[in-house]
Amino acid sequence: MTPRPESSGSRPKGTAGEKIPEQPTAAQKKSAAKKTSVPKQAAAKKATAPAKKAAAKTTPAAQPPATKATAKKAAPAKTTAKKAVEKKAPATKAAAEKTAATKTAAKKTTAKKTTAKKATTTKATATKAAAKKATAKKAVAKKATTTKAAATKSTATKAAASKATASKAAAAKTTATKTTGTKSTAAKTAGTKATTAKPPAKKAPAKRAPAKKATTKKATAGTGTAAPAQTLPPEMEVAVSPAVGAADRERLLNGTHHNPHSVLGAHPVPGGIAFRAFRPYALSVTVVAGEVRTELENDGEGFFSGLLPLPEVPQYRLLVEYEGTVLDTEDAYRFLPTLGDLDLHLIGEGRHEQLWTALGAHPMTHQGVTGTRFAVWAPNALGVRVAGTFNFWDGTGHVMRSLGSSGVWEVFLPDIGEGELYKFEITRPDGSKTLRADPMARRTEVPPATSSVITSSEYEWGDDAWLARRAEAPAHEAPFSVYEVHLPSWRPGLTYRQLAEQLPGYVKNLGFTHVELMPVAEHPFGGSWGYQVTGFYAPTARLGTPDDFRHLVDSLHRAGIGVLMDWVPAHFPRDDWALAEFDGRPLYEHADPLRAAHPDWGTLEFDYGRNEVRNFLVANALYWCEEFHIDGLRVDAVASMLYLDYSREPGQWTPNEHGGRENLDAVAFLQEMNATVYRRVPGVVTIAEESTAWDGVTRATHHKGPSGFGGLGFGLKWNMGWMHDSLQYMSHEPVYRKYHHHEMTFSMVYAYSENYVLPISHDEVVHGKRSLVSKMPGDWWQQRANHRAYLGFMWAHPGKQLLFMGQEFAQGAEWSEAHGPDWWLLDPGYGAEAEHRGVRDLVRDLNTVYRATPALWRLDTDPAGFEWVVGDAADDNVLAFLRLDPEGTPILSVSNFAPVVRQDYRLGVPEDVPAWHEAVNTDAARYGGSDVTNPDPVKPEAQPWHGRPASIRLTLPPLATVWLRPA
């Protein structure tokens, strides 16, 4: 710590409310040394006289300090006071007036106090009083105010007498902080340098009149006996030092103060209002309150303080002088908390459903002042400060306060707005410091930079019509085909707004009902595809601002396309500037290392049993839906959340309270998240990426299943079993497929146990798994034919569809986030362009027929919507089934996964359909096929087949799927 400068004086340090008597000045000590003959008994009597505000009140600049201090007592006798102030009366006249005033006072006070007052009529007694002043510091300022009558009639006499002894009165260290251009000894002691443009020459005595009456003791009527002793009012108490106390000073410097607002700012204290500022590197700090400009005393190490004789805290600003500039600003430590008790209660309960409105950085107007409110949850921190571009990344002077036992730290910083970068400087329990990004940041720097950015939204949405109709039918009873998009690589280099010009049109042309966007939330490593999130509330800055992302969503909605996003509440990375051990101890992660570390990805798992952590995630789900109009959340890695032994060997996990392997905290979190989202945001769907046989993933949370658990409450679940089995089947050479026929039929055993999505996602076309077309056997023609046949089978199978970008035009290479889809395959100059374009045309036609045919989606989750025609034709590699709508209207899907044409293949059909015609044939020439089709309507025959009363004969093209519907 740097030494205290001499200009700060030698007054003791004290915090607000401490009654520390001021120390005598050098002049007072010298005067006291010369007058050692003052009787101790007289000194003791006079030390009891209250002496506070008269010494601090401002008086006309033309008067000596002692006269000004005494003149404040003359308010009850205004005329006499004016004469005393405006004229210099002869010494004999003053003595005569003083004698008369003393006689009058003697009639109304006790003998003891009369004696004390008469002592002031002689110079010898005045000398004794001056000596006492040097010893007791402020006793003389109000020694004659013990009774109402004496205070009224004798002040003028005292004023005249004090003029005659001005030099002695000056030694009494009278505080006169508002004198123009003069710094009195008392002002030095109070730590202020005060100036005023208009000295209150005659208003000061009148202004103090009410306060003076409040300080007197009332005599008993008609008896002259003093009333019983009363507690001294605040204004009669001894003034305290305004400087920050040693303990608070050290804690502020070290960043371990939990309540800086109780020390800094303006506070009523005995003697007036104490102003304290902590401005490291400042040369000076001046308080500006109306016409009053008071320079605070520099206490060293960035601390400034001063005591102003004001009755209450005024509206004020600070002029902070730095080298080469002066900052005119509000005092951050004069503001009340921006968070109320309800916010803190809900945070503690884990029920603040709009947590993003309470925590984080929010530009706002608070108590009539514009600035930014910062709030962060860090219950283990010893102290928290805000560092950013606005303070050159030195948070020393921007200390946050702890709000009760909530663990929330808050501060409102005036004059700070959008675009500023910031982080929280946290002092950990061991005293070390860490600089952390805001967990609730709604905007971040572009990675690899890691700072949070102050932001607010001014976006005006235009998707009201979309939002109104999206809740008309639940997702599992509506057409739902999804185009999965990795935004940074779909068209590399495009921003959110540029994507908004191209993506909606492309997706609409292909007929998809939804897009699923990845990644959305901010993440440091692009190679993670957004699955190791550090900014859960911030759209990735790689592509633009949050409002730019809103524009993309809005544009998709206006094109009639729903928007899903990948949401990752299962884990988070260990980056030391993000969530890991955020405040020095496990906070967002589980405290048990066996429960905290994710064994597969080197990340940390959330502590779902902690109220605040659960609240952080539930509110995050709502945030994306409410603030960005997201229509659905695809929840990543649900299986890893549900099981305590997920990817762990025996001994590496701890059973739950019932001895089981289920993560009960995660179950409760997922149930709460789903129930809350569906309650607050109509029309939104949640989708679980869950790969196990957990019972009731898409069952309502209040309905218990055989396992005893209520449902998790998801709207849809990825059918990972269907995906794995069907791709395994398709990868076999057709000659061997008959041995794996069950892999294509087994899905119907459990198809209605959940509400399913059939996902051909990014996970299936990376890391050596090859693209979808490359998984297929045979030559190039057979690969594309298998690819088309598989898509036709997929779109007809019960469940919703999801296809990753690039697979819609049979990209041969694995996807890479570095360069995205191989769009050059669709270049007309490329020789095989027609073959790739044909696959894309098929996807468009599949979506078009799908959306127009309720039988393909209306009863996706109802067994009444599906009937096998033939499911056991393993030797033929043929699968045929009917899909039905609620009215019984069918569509027939037939897949031939053999590379041969099957002529007159008989299939049993309903007898009430007079004729069938092809709706889709994946072998059509326009798709790149061999064009083996059934161009004419096919009429049923009365020959029973496959257990049905009628049948039809079809020509089945090789490696193809055909859809037929009633003519």
Q: DSSP labels for 529-588? A: TT-S-SEEEEE-GGG--HHHHHHHHHHHHHTT-EEEEEE--SEE---TTTTTTTTSS-SS
Count of CB atoms within 10 A of residue 931's CB? 13
Whole-number Cα distances in Å, 440 to 318, 521, 603? 31, 12, 20
pLDDT tens digits, one per residue of 570-609: 999 999 999 999 999 999 999 998 889 988 889 999 999 9
Look at residue 54 and tell me whether its pLDDT is greater than 50.
Answer: no
pLDDT tens digits, one per residue of 121-173: 333 333 343 333 333 333 333 333 333 333 333 333 333 333 333 333 333 33
Distance CA 860, CA 883 (A): 9
Minimum mean pLDDT range among 514-518, 592-596, 828-832, 835-839: 592-596
* Beta carbons of 707 and 733 less than 8 angstroms apart: no
Pick the closest to residue 698 from 477, 517, 882 (CA basis): 477
Pick the closest to residue 803 from 769, 833, 771 (CA basis): 771
Tokens of 616: 């952080």
Tokens of 450: 């890691």
H helix runs in 769-884, sequence order: 780-796, 833-852
Percentage of residues in the chain with pLDDT exceeding 70? 75
Phi, psi of 148 (to 5 degrees): -65, -45
Q: Who contacts 499 (Cβ-Cβ below 8 Å, separation ≥6)?
A: 487, 490, 491, 543, 552
pLDDT tens digits, one per residue of 507-555: 999 999 999 999 999 999 999 999 999 999 999 999 999 999 999 999 9
Minimum mean pLDDT range among 189-193, 272-276, 309-313, 919-923: 189-193
State the average pLDDT for the chain. Answer: 82
pLDDT tens digits, one per residue of 231-242: 445 555 567 789
Look at residue 665 and tell me whether its pLDDT is greater than 70.
Answer: yes
pLDDT tens digits, one per residue of 290-321: 999 999 999 999 999 999 999 999 999 999 99
Whole-number Cα distances in Å, 142 to 55, 101, 129, 238? 8, 16, 12, 12
410: helix, coil or strand? strand
> What is the rounded average pLDDT of the residues 479-487?
97
| Burial class of residue 559 in the structure, from the number of CB atoms within 10 Å of its CB (0-12 exposed, 13-18 middle, 19+ buried) | middle
pLDDT band, very low/low/confident/very high, at 430 (cuts 50, 70, 90): very high
pLDDT tens digits, one per residue of 383-412: 999 999 999 999 999 999 999 999 999 999
- The reported pLDDT for the residue numbered 234 is 52
Distance CA 954, CA 67 (A): 119
Minimum mean pLDDT range among 192-201, 280-289, 371-380, 734-743: 192-201
- Rounded to the nearest 5 degrees, what angle is found at the Cα of 829, between the Cα atoms of 827 and 835? 65
* Beta carbons of 442 and 356 less than 8 angstroms apart: yes
User: Which residues are tagged catalytic?
Assistant: 636, 689
**How far from the centroid of its chain's Cα atoms is residue 963's Cα?**
52
Look at residue 40 and tell me whether its pLDDT is greater than 80.
Answer: no
Look at residue 20 and tell me whether its pLDDT is greater than 80.
Answer: no
Q: Who contacts 667 (Cβ-Cβ below 8 Å, separation ≥6)?
A: 642, 709, 712
Between 193 and 716, name the one with better pLDDT.
716
Distance CA 12, CA 42 (A): 27
pLDDT band, very low/low/confident/very high, at 948 (cuts 50, 70, 90): very high
Percentage of residues in the chain with pLDDT exceeding 90? 72
- The reported pLDDT for the residue numbered 651 is 87
> What is the rounded average pLDDT of the residues 725-754?
97
Look at residue 74 and tell me whether its pLDDT is greater than 60.
Answer: no
- The reported pLDDT for the residue numbered 237 is 56
* Beta carbons of 920 and 960 less than 8 angstroms apart: no
Q: Name the range with the highest mean pLDDT among 47-51, 223-227, 916-920.
A: 916-920
Distance CA 841, CA 821 (A): 17
pLDDT band, very low/low/confident/very high, at 707 (cuts 50, 70, 90): confident
- Each residue of 874-905: b (16+ CB within 10 Å) or e? bebbbbbbbbbbeeeebbbbbbbbbbeebeeb
